[in-house]
Amino acid sequence: MSLTSLTFLEFCILALIIYFIVPKKIRWIVLLASSVTFLFWNNLSVYTVIQAIIVLLSAYIFGILIDKYHDTRKSKVFCVLGILIIIAQLIYLKYTNLFLVTANHIFNLFNININFGMVTRNSLLGISYYSLIMISYLIDVYRGTCKPQKNILKCALFMSYFPILTSGPFVRYENMEKDLYEGHKLKYDSLCKGLVRILWGVFKILVISQRCGYFVDTVYGDLGTYNGCFTIVAVILYTIQLYTNFSGSIDIIMGISEIIGINLPENFKAPFFSKTITEFWRNWHITLGSWLRDYIFYPLQKSNFIQKLNKKCKNIFGKKFGKKIPLYLSMFIMWTLIGIWHGGAYTFIIASGILQFIYIVLEDLLGPASEKINKKIGINTEAFSYKLYQALRTFLLFSFAMIFFRATSIGNGIQIIKSIFVYNPWVLTDNTTLFTAGLDLYDFRVLIISIIVLFIVDGLSRSGSVREKLFKQNIVFRWTIIYMLIFAILIFGCYGVGYDPAAFIYRQF
Amino acid sequence: MKRLIKVTIFFIILIILFHYTSQILLGVNSSIVQFYDESSNSLDIIYIGASNAYKHFNTLLAYEKYGYTTGMLSSPTQPFPATKYLIKEAEKNQKPKLYIIDIARCVLDFHNTDLDLARATTDTMKFSKNRIDTINKILSYSDVNKREYINYYFNFFLYHNNWKNISEDNYKKNINLYKGYFISEDTVKTEIQEPLEWKKECTSLRKENREVLIDLINYIKEKNINVLFVVPRRFFIETENEMLNDAISIIEENQMKVINFNEVEELDINLENDFCDGYHLNTYGSTKYTLYFAKYLKENYDLPDHSNDPSYSSWNDEYERFKEYYKFLTGRDFNELLEN
């Protein structure tokens, strides 16, 4: 069920009406029923029900056991056991092919004549999200950050809360516990602000993301015809497509939750204004980053192995460089896991894992030298132009990595990079050629204006919520902006006859 | 209370803007759009049918000759099942003395309706329950999934893509229609051979066609409205001709009047000069048809003469506009055509 489809709209309206009609005490049951319906929409089978039950029972039973044997060795065993079951299922359902491909490569390397065929697994929607959410739940119970949920149905609601199933954000039980089970009253302000946020999300997806997609699909689908400047534009537009699709979906999800009265953590904070890749990842898919930091990176850093390695490295390489090696190792593991989480293919591991790791290490290593050079040659690093250069550099580095995110294989990714170097700058200036790749002149105009609006809104959001600012304005201005948003979607949105509801890029994760 | 008023005003403005934007984006031109512009209870006759209605009967010429007004609820390839709903639409703010219903398309297989063209009817109707009912009726014969009906209910789902083609014409209504009448070219382009003979043989209508026709007749009886059915003078393939004979007998069995213009000998319309394609009359043919039929209507029905009524001045203005456009199109004066 696409977030911009009519079915989803009807589903949400119905769920919200029932939610606000029933007595407060049982409103969470409506959310549970909606979530279960959403989870199994078009994918109800014994197989998928078992998948969900495995995760739910692992988290529920081991959560209670961890709490019961708190501060004993048993609690650690139960925690590890619960996590292992969830991870085992996740790997089986999502990453079997990754292992098979790896095995095939290894056998090939040693000239062993074994070749595994790929397998198809029918996994539930949002499995990567709810698996990680339930893992963090077990760890939080183990750490004593929260108490386990004794009601299995309430536990099921935490696992399957429908707005976050398609694209997150990652939530923590301690933050959700109160909001999720408390029956909320419909508030006028929340309704208005929630609806505006939903509209903004729909605008991003239907007006920008879908439009970028037409160009990107055309170019990447025929690199023989479309190369050089076509590829450069496609690389840039794909990054914007990805961002608007993902953050637009998050806006829709946040808007729905806001109407219900449940606060979710922000997942994006104007990432394209970031000056470095490190900063970029603090503003992009924030909740995934913080999840991995809290549940992978910090525990790794505190682990005996890394601590011992730290000592050894300091002895061998000195204090300054010695401490960086274990740090980079922890980072490498974390970034590889981010890559793996994005999909069971090497392209994802390279795009959102290894390349990001390389960028961050290079920033860390070259940062001091770069500062020295800037000082020596007298570059004003506080000037707008320098900040713009930094933001552009970050954007382009990220866009480059996303070539592999979009590529069907590593070979295809290299092919895309090669096609960038075909010399055809006239494509951008002859006023016709560029408009043969899925978007005509009119579409490009709409796209450019929409992207400018997107950047203005993102820029404004850095100094506080844009909606708060909008709702402080006088009614005429406020309504004009809202009407403009509605009609921009209605007129320029890619929907209706001839269009498919916007496919959500991140839902596959 | 204050919030309720605010929300109400917000949605009223939204609906107005939506309606206006839809009008601009709507790429379909039909007489139905113009029909809505007529003042309440200002039409004496309402003519319902497909292209044989708006291309054959010159409403302005009928007004010029006899002073009564005719409104067209007519659009290209208008599906016959829409007829009952169009009468309902007309009844909302008109009380005509007579409805003329063209039955040429009542013999076609409703399952083969060209739904893209059928949108010319439904898309130009104002948004209402009746419009939804019309769409449901037309689509009930198609294999369109009910989930997709929404694409027909809301024009925007199709026409929002017209934003790239918006020109001055989008802001003007029906520049090529004159009180519902469409001027066809004078040139004769037809491969159909004379003579246009009407066969007397009869073949039963399909079950569904019969049901729709009887339902329409029952509705007319129930509402006690005055209706004249017509079969336009044009070429019909043999089976259509035979099924039309069945339709005529069904109507006559119900004590209603039908004029089959293919059997009206006084009407001197021939393929050689009066058709633009064998199925539609050109201006020569439509002028002959209108002069004959308008006189018949005046003589047989109690129709008023508004020619001296200043509140009907738009009809005189439109007649002048029509003559100017005719001259622009053909290089000839329309009065000359009348004299000949």
Residues A21-32: tens digit of each pLDDT: 999 999 999 999
Residue A505 pLDDT greater than 60, yes or no: no
Strand duo B181-182 + B177-178: pairing:
antiparallel
Strands of A233-387, DSSP E: none
Task: List the B45-49 sheet strands across, edge first.
Answer: B70-74, B45-49, B98-102, B227-231, B257-260
Cβ-nearest to B157 among A188, A479, A497: A497
Residues A248-294: tens digit of each pLDDT: 999 999 999 999 999 899 999 999 999 999 999 999 999 998 999 99
Average pLDDT over residues A56-71: 91
For every residue of A207-267, DSSP letters joined together read IIIHHHHHHHHHHHH-TTTS-THHHHHHHHHHHHHHHHHHHHHHHHHHHHHHHHT------
Task: Give the dihedral sign, CA B163/B169/B173/B179.
Answer: negative
CA distance A491 to chain B (A): 5
CA distance A259 to chain B (A): 16
Query: Looking at A179-193, B177-191, B220-234, B288-302, which range is the least confident one?
Result: B177-191
CA distance B131 to chain A (A): 19
Q: With an 8 Å Cβ cutoff, are A492 and B163 in contact?
A: yes
Average pLDDT over residues A469-492: 94
Q: With an 8 Å Cβ cutoff, are A440 and B164 in contact?
A: yes
Strand duo B257-260 + B227-231: pairing:
parallel
Query: Looking at A71-85, A96-110, A359-373, which range is the least confident one?
Result: A96-110
Measured CA to CA, the distance from residue B66 to residue B306 in angstroms comes to 8
Question: Could you give the residue ranges of the DSSP H alpha helices within A261-285?
Answer: 277-283
Domain boundaries, chain A: 6-185, 186-262+440-509, 277-406
Beta bridge partners of B49: B74
Using an 8 Å Cβ cutoff, are A233 and A215 in contact? yes
pLDDT band at B25 (very low <50, low <70, confident <90, very high): confident
Give me the domains of chain B, ranges plus CATH numbers. 30-114+165-339 (3.40.50.1110)
Residues A133-160: tens digit of each pLDDT: 999 999 999 999 999 999 999 999 999 9
Cβ within 8 Å of A, B 127-156: 147, 150-151, 156
pLDDT at B297: 95
pLDDT band at B265 (very low <50, low <70, confident <90, very high): confident
Number of Cβ within 10 Å of residue A109's Cβ equals: 8
More confident site: B268 or B104: B104
The 3-class SS string of chain B reads CHHHHHHHHHHHHHHHHHHHHHHHHCCCCCHHHHHCCCCCCCCCEEEEECHHHHCCCCHHHHHHHHCCCEEEEECCCCCHHHHHHHHHHHHCCCCCCEEEEECHHHHCCHHHCCHHHHHHHHCCCCCCHHHHHHHHHHHCCCCCCHHHHHHHHCCHHHHHHHHHHCCHHHHCCCCCEECCEECCCCCCCCCCCCCCCCCCCCCCCCHHHHHHHHHHHHHHHHHCCCEEEEECCCCCCHHHHHHHHHHHHHHHHCCCEEEECCCCCCCCCCHHHHECCCCCECHHHHHHHHHHHHHHHHHHCCCCCCCCCHHHHHHHHHHHHHHHHHHHHHCCCHHHHHHC
B114: region left, alpha or beta (phi > 0 left; psi from -120 to 50 alpha): beta
More confident site: B136 or A110: B136
Average pLDDT over residues A109-125: 82
Cβ-nearest to B164 among A442, A475, A479: A442
Measured CA to CA, the distance from residue A404 to residue A424 in angstroms comes to 23
pLDDT at B97: 95
In this structure, what DSSP letter does residue A440 have? -
Residue A504 pLDDT greater than 60, yes or no: no
Question: Could you give the residue ranges of the DSSP H alpha helices within A73-187?
Answer: 73-94, 96-109, 127-143, 152-160, 173-181
B25 contact residues in A (CB cutoff 8 A) = 491
Cβ-nearest to B10 among A6, A479, A487: A479
Residue A499 pLDDT greater than 70, yes or no: no
Using an 8 Å Cβ cutoff, are B54 and B77 in contact? no
Q: With an 8 Å Cβ cutoff, are A497 and B163 in contact?
A: no
CA distance B6 to chain A (A): 10
Is residue B207 less than 8 Å (CB to CB) from chain A? no
Using an 8 Å Cβ cutoff, are B110 and B137 in contact? no
pLDDT band at B192 (very low <50, low <70, confident <90, very high): low
pLDDT at B27: 63
Cβ-nearest to B157 among A486, A492, A496: A496
Q: For residue B16, what is the nearest residue in chain A, using CA coordinates?
A: A483
Q: For residue B19, what is the nearest residue in chain A, using CA coordinates?
A: A487
Residue A479 pLDDT greater than 90, yes or no: yes
pLDDT at B191: 65
pLDDT band at B206 (very low <50, low <70, confident <90, very high): very high
pLDDT at B171: 74
Measured CA to CA, the distance from residue A384 to residue A463 in angstroms comes to 17
pLDDT at B194: 61
pLDDT at A113: 81
**Helices and strands (H and E) in chain A: how many:** 24, 0
Q: With an 8 Å Cβ cutoff, are B160 and A479 in contact?
A: no
Number of CB pairs, chain A paired with chain B, less than 8 A apart? 38
Using an 8 Å Cβ cutoff, are A447 and A212 in contact? yes
pLDDT at A503: 45
Strand duo B177-178 + B98-102: pairing:
unpaired
Q: With an 8 Å Cβ cutoff, are A487 and B151 in contact?
A: no
Average pLDDT over residues A224-249: 94
Q: With an 8 Å Cβ cutoff, are A6 and B21 in contact?
A: no
Cβ neighbours of residue B24 under 8 Å, at least 6 residues apart?
A: B166, B170, B171
Tell me chain A's radius of gyration from C-alpha atoms. Answer: 24
Average pLDDT over residues B126-152: 91
Measured CA to CA, the distance from residue A422 to residue A222 in angstroms comes to 14
Residue A343 pLDDT greater than 60, yes or no: yes
Using an 8 Å Cβ cutoff, are A94 and A51 in contact? no
Q: Which of B164, B166, B167, B170 to mutate to test the interface with A (most CBs of A within 10 A)?
A: B164
Structure-token pair, residue A262: 């449940």
CA distance B14 to chain A (A): 7
pLDDT band at B175 (very low <50, low <70, confident <90, very high): low
Query: Looking at A426-440, A478-492, B35-49, which range is the least confident one?
Result: A426-440
Using an 8 Å Cβ cutoff, are B333 and B78 in contact? no
pLDDT band at A508 (very low <50, low <70, confident <90, very high): very low
- Residues of A in CB contact (< 8 Å) with B are 6, 188, 440, 442, 475, 479, 483, 486-487, 490-493, 495-498
Instruction: Look at residues B107, B101, B81 and name the one whose alpha carbon lies nearest to residue B205.
Output: B107
B21 contact residues in A (CB cutoff 8 A) = 487, 490-491
pLDDT at A438: 86
Using an 8 Å Cβ cutoff, are A167 and A253 in contact? yes
The mean of the pLDDT values for chain A is 89
Average pLDDT over residues A229-248: 95
Average pLDDT over residues A296-305: 89
Tell me the CA distances in angstroms from B22 to A393, B129, B156, B162, one per residue in order: 43, 18, 6, 10
Q: Coil, strand or helix: which one is A97?
A: helix
Residues A313-341: tens digit of each pLDDT: 888 888 777 888 889 999 999 999 888 88
Using an 8 Å Cβ cutoff, are B210 and B250 in contact? yes
Instruction: Measure the CA dihedral A34/A36/A38/A40, to 10°.
Output: -150
Cβ neighbours of residue B244 under 8 Å, at least 6 residues apart?
A: B103, B104, B106, B107, B231, B236, B260
B151 contact residues in A (CB cutoff 8 A) = 496-497
pLDDT at B280: 87
Share of chain A above pLDDT 70, in %: 97
Share of chain A above pLDDT 90, in %: 59
A496 contact residues in B (CB cutoff 8 A) = 151, 156-158, 160-161
Residues B296-329: tens digit of each pLDDT: 999 999 999 998 899 999 999 999 988 888 888 8
Q: In chain A, how long is the greatest CA-to-CA distance?
A: 73
CA distance A132 to chain B (A): 36
Q: With an 8 Å Cβ cutoff, are A497 and B151 in contact?
A: yes
